[in-house]
């Protein structure tokens, strides 16, 4: 019997968090080996375990996988969270890319210089309200189903829930004009595996703080 997946990353959200979310939603227990200093990362590189000398890295089913999207694709396929055919996978991929664009846009807010922060937050909020959330609300309205694709839980629903929670952390009022998205958030949050992951003490990571940013800078030299 295969052991638990092992996740290699620093002890924070970053690019690993969506992988944690997807594994948790699939009901898969996983272990984490945190990269706590530059030497930890250098050892993984010297051991030849990081194909492109960067993390996230996940050990799963006898493989050492890197590149976030590749890891997510494997997990989604393995646990039947990737649609029933090529057309559904194309929609899942398209919607997922939009979610990742939004996530990537929000991440720099954490390290934004104080004198630029307010302007950047206003810009991000504008795009959330007028570009991204309306697009997903429209998808749900167009078919009237409980999930984004195929009326069945897929990876894109999990990714969307994750980013909706980030949006709420930024400004809870942003979700107010989108009743279908709020209903989707509540529906998925109530699923047993997801509900468990949302409980205190789970492997879900809290918002990143200044100390974690400084630690990550030292490790990854950005």
If pLDDT is split at 50, 70 and 90, which confidence band does 2 have? low
Write out the two tokens for 190.
């109530």
- Interval 69-117: pLDDT, tens: 999 999 999 999 999 999 999 999 999 999 999 999 988 787 778 888 8
Q: Are 99 and 156 in contact (CB under 8 A)?
A: yes
Verify that 94 and 175 share a domain, yes or no.
yes
Verify that 143 and 159 share a domain, yes or no.
yes
Verify that 132 and 96 share a domain, yes or no.
yes
Verify that 170 and 116 share a domain, yes or no.
yes
- pLDDT higher at 153 or 3: 153
Distance CA 45, CA 219 (A): 13
Query: What is the pLDDT at residue 11?
Result: 93
- Interval 12-52: pLDDT, tens: 999 999 999 999 999 999 999 999 999 999 999 999 999 99
- 1 to 61, 67, 148, 194: CA distances (angstroms): 10, 25, 34, 25
- What percent of the chain is predicted at pLDDT more than 90? 84
Domain span holding position 73: 6-79+197-220
CATH number at residue 159: 1.20.1050.10
Verify that 91 and 133 share a domain, yes or no.
yes
Query: What is the pLDDT at residue 147?
Result: 97
Q: Is the pLDDT of residue 222 over 70?
A: no
Alpha-helical segments (H) within 107-198: 114-127, 133-143, 155-170, 179-189, 192-197
pTM: 0.95
The total of structural domains in the chain comes to: 2
Verify that 70 and 145 share a domain, yes or no.
no
Residue 1 in any domain: the answer is no
Residue 10 in any domain: the answer is yes
Distance CA 128, CA 176 (A): 12
């Amino acid at each position: 019997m295969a052991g638990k997946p092992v996740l290699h990353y620093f002890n924070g959200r970053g690019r690993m968090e969506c992988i944690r979310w997807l594994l948790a939603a699939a009901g898969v227990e996983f272990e984490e080996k945190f990269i706590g200093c530059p030497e930890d990362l250098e050892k993984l590189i010297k051991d030849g375990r990081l194909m492109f000398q960067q993390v996230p890295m996940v050990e799963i089913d006898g493989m050492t996988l890197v590149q976030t999207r590749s890891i997510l694709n494997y997990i989604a396929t393995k646990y039947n969270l990737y649609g029933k055919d090529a057309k559904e996978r194309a929609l899942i991929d398209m919607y997922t890319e939009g979610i990742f664009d939004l996530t990537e846009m929000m991440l720099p807010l954490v390290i934004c210089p104080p004198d630029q922060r307010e302007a950047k937050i206003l810009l991000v909020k504008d795009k959330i309200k007028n570009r991204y959330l309306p697009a997903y609300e429209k998808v749900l309205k167009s078919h009237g189903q409980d999930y984004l694709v195929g009326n069945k839980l897929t990876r894109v629903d999990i990714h969307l829930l994750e980013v909706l929670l980030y949006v709420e952390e930024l400004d809870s009022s942003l979700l107010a004009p989108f009743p279908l998205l709020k209903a989707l958030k509540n529906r998925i949050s109530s699923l047993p595996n997801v509900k468990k992951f949302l409980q205190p003490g789970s492997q879900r990571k809290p918002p990143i703080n200044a100390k974690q940013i400084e630690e990550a800078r030292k490790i990854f030299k950005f």
